[in-house]
Structure 1
Amino acid sequence: MGAPADAVVTGPAGAVADVPSVTPLDRPGRAVEHRGMHVRVTFIAAARCSSLLAERFDDDRPLDQAGWDEVQLVAPALIPYAAAELRYCSPAPRSRATGDALGLGPLVQLALRDCDMGRWRGLTLGEAMAREPAAVDAWLADPRTAPHGGESLLTFVGRVGEWLDTRPADDGGRIVAVAEPSVVRAALVYVLRAPLATYWNIDVRPLSTTAVTGWAGRWNLRFDGAFPQPLRP
């Protein structure tokens, strides 16, 4: 969702907005279930849909030839993830195509869709700024607002976190999910219980992998090194 992490990392006037250090995980009423049932979820960021065109909000373009070439290049390293018991993807064309190209045969999950950007869908950040500069400034400054008429950053992170917390909690279970880089960024904010403004400072590259382990309400970010290790929880 939104601007690429390497393009916009601050709010208006070049300063990160002063927002409360609260994430959707802190909201009352969230039940922590299956405590002690250890699962591993590996996110694979979908391949880029265009290496030449600007990144667009809520982009539903399919993979172009460059995207397919990149998938084929990294496929030998990522195909082992097909051994995971549960394999998911977002409904976006590039996520489905990435999952299929890696032999995952993933099940589409609506909860893994990109942020609903309302009337800004399909626009670049520059185009949205040219049309509604005040609205873009408000959106960058306050993660609780949705001046475009879609989802706020708060709602988006909460949706992705809810999906993560409701995964089947079989001890040692392995789950793989292919989704847009923005979804992976949202998951990281949720897992780390980071301030929502942290979202703008996370850069997730296409076809990168990010693993988290734990259970509902208790997740850890995991680094395994340079090579995928899907067989170890």
Structure 2
Amino acid sequence: MLLRVTFVAAARSSPLLAERFEDDRPLDQAGWVEVQRAAHDLVPLSVAELRYCSPTPRSRSTGEGLGYSPLVQLALRDCDMGRWRGLTLGEAMAREPAAVDAWLADPRSTPHGGESLLDFISRVGNWLDTRPIEDGDRIVAVAEPSVIRAALVYALKAPPATYWNIDVRPLSTITVTGHAGRWNLRFEGPPTQLSQT
């Protein structure tokens, strides 16, 4: 049996340029409005037998706002950014430009003292590979955009540098189908059609 895992990007908690590493802020007003607007298209995903979310307040609130009642998964947490936690990329660059350059260039580097990009991708991929097929074949997971980017790099067996070329917008969805070690990217119609398939 193949699994179908649909990732839903959490609604925003700040303007894009103010995004912070390991952002623990709750949804802002614009984020709640986005959830309400997207609900018609995304609520049908709640038919999934397994519903998960990353532990951030905005992922949990997005999942709850869409009626998923998701189970928090620590493996879907954002990349551990060490001493850069809470900073924007611009702030980290202003403080440690050489370290940020090294981090962007080498997926094994950890100049911030946290988790490497390669380890982050592997952690999220391991979560994907260990989903229990016997509990149902449809899964929905609300997660931070960074987590979804890591999952896609893993699923496609793409080079880690591909991570920087994937743009995940708030409340966008992407589906991967398959099983441990063999995943395919799947483009589908609106979620309202998915509940009938």
On whether the aligned pair clears a TM of 0.5, the verdict is: yes
Moved over 2 A (4+): 229-233
TM-score, normalised relative to structure 2? 0.96
2: distance between equivalents of 1:203 and 1:136? 20
Q: What residue is the counterpart of 2:27 in the other structure?
A: 63
Q: What residue is the counterpart of 1:221 in the other structure?
A: 185
Which of 43, 65, 75 is the aligned partner of 1:101?
A: 65
Q: What residue is the counterpart of 1:199 in the other structure?
A: 163
Contact 1:45 1:181 in 2 (8 A): yes
Q: What residue is the counterpart of 2:111 in the other structure?
A: 147
Which of 127, 131, 146 is the aligned partner of 1:167?
A: 131
**Which has more helix, going by share of residues?**
2
2: distance between equivalents of 1:165 and 1:232? 26
Percent identity of paired positions between Structure 1 and Structure 2: 78
2: distance between equivalents of 1:39 and 1:73? 28
User: 1:178: how far off?
Assistant: 0.2
User: 1:52: how far off?
Assistant: 7.1
2:10 maps to 1:46: yes
User: 1:230: how far off?
Assistant: 3.6
Gaps of 5+ in 1: 1-36
User: 1:231: how far off?
Assistant: 3.1
Corresponding residue SS for 1:177: strand
Structure 1 or 2, whichever has the larger Rg, is 1
Give RMSD over aligned pairs: 1.4
Contact 2:45 2:140 in 1 (8 A): yes
Counterparts in 2 of 1:45 and 1:203: CA distance versus 1, 3 Å: same
User: 1:58: how far off?
Assistant: 1.0
2: distance between equivalents of 1:176 and 1:232? 16
TM-score, normalised relative to structure 1? 0.81
2:147 maps to 1:183: yes
Corresponding residue SS for 1:205: coil
Which of 129, 149, 173 is the aligned partner of 2:93?
A: 129
Corresponding residue SS for 1:170: helix
